[in-house]
């Protein structure tokens, strides 16, 4: 079995900013005999690589289904990442900072402070200053936490913390099954 890189570009429509698109990168794993079948099929068809023109579904349905499953999974994941990030970037959530902080505690966020820093000389608590400090610490922590996550784990984190689970994000996805570029290169280079 060999793992190949695949990528996908999705088009979601047009907004007042222009085309709404997303790009995703993933992997597909193919058996050595399936790789050889694809190489031979490309060579037998004069270098043609279009899956439909090669009639891959009809000739090698197992290989086509493996590729289709990988591209569908990649398209679903790419759409999910896109819509969760769009929700976060556009503020499509209705949680208070306190609720967000509670959700982040599961991931390790903890706001520690010295009460004396938020009291005046009479011992009165400056609640606004305390809340502002907590909010600042929260969003600093979120930014730092996200910097260590890959795109998909970041989307899962945002979805859980901000309750941004998109509805029907993978409904009616339009994607194309392609032969991985590395296999095409093998076919063209006589390997």
189 lies in the same domain as 101: no
4 lies in the same domain as 37: yes
153 lies in the same domain as 100: yes
**Alpha-carbon 121 to chain mean position:** 50
d(CA 84, CA 150): 14
Work out how many domains the chain is built from and give that number: 2
102 lies in the same domain as 40: no
52 lies in the same domain as 144: no
104 lies in the same domain as 159: yes
Q: Which of 57, 69, 81 is nearest to 28 (CA)?
A: 69
Q: Give the residue numbers spanning the domain of 148.
A: 94-163
8 lies in the same domain as 66: yes
52 lies in the same domain as 109: no
Rounded to two decimals, what is the model's pTM?
0.81
d(CA 77, CA 63): 21
98 lies in the same domain as 84: no
104 lies in the same domain as 152: yes
The one-digit pLDDT tens for each residue of the chain (191 residues) are 999 999 999 988 788 888 888 899 999 999 999 999 999 999 999 999 999 999 999 999 999 999 999 999 999 999 999 999 999 998 888 899 999 999 999 999 998 887 777 777 777 777 888 888 899 999 999 999 999 999 999 999 999 999 988 876 666 788 999 999 999 999 988 65
């Amino acid at each position: 079995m060999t793992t190949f890189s695949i990528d996908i570009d999705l088009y979601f429509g047009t907004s007042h900013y222009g085309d709404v698109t997303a790009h995703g990168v993933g992997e597909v794993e193919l058996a050595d005999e399936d790789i050889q079948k694809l190489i031979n099929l490309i060579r037998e068809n004069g270098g043609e690589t279009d899956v439909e023109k090669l009639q891959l579904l009809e000739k090698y349905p197992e290989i086509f289904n493996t590729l289709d499953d990988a591209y569908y999974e990649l398209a679903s994941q790419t759409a999910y990442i896109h819509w969760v990030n769009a929700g976060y970037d556009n503020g499509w959530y209705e949680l208070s900072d306190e609720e967000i902080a509670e959700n982040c505690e599961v991931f390790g966020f903890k706001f520690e402070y010295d009460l004396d820093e938020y009291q005046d000389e009479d011992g009165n608590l400056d609640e606004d200053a305390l809340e502002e400090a907590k909010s600042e610490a929260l969003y600093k922590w979120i930014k730092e936490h996200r910097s260590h996550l890959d795109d998909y784990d970041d989307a899962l984190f945002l979805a859980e913390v901000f309750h941004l689970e998109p509805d029907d994000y993978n409904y009616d996805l339009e994607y194309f099954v392609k032969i991985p570029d590395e296999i095409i290169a093998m076919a063209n280079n006589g390997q």
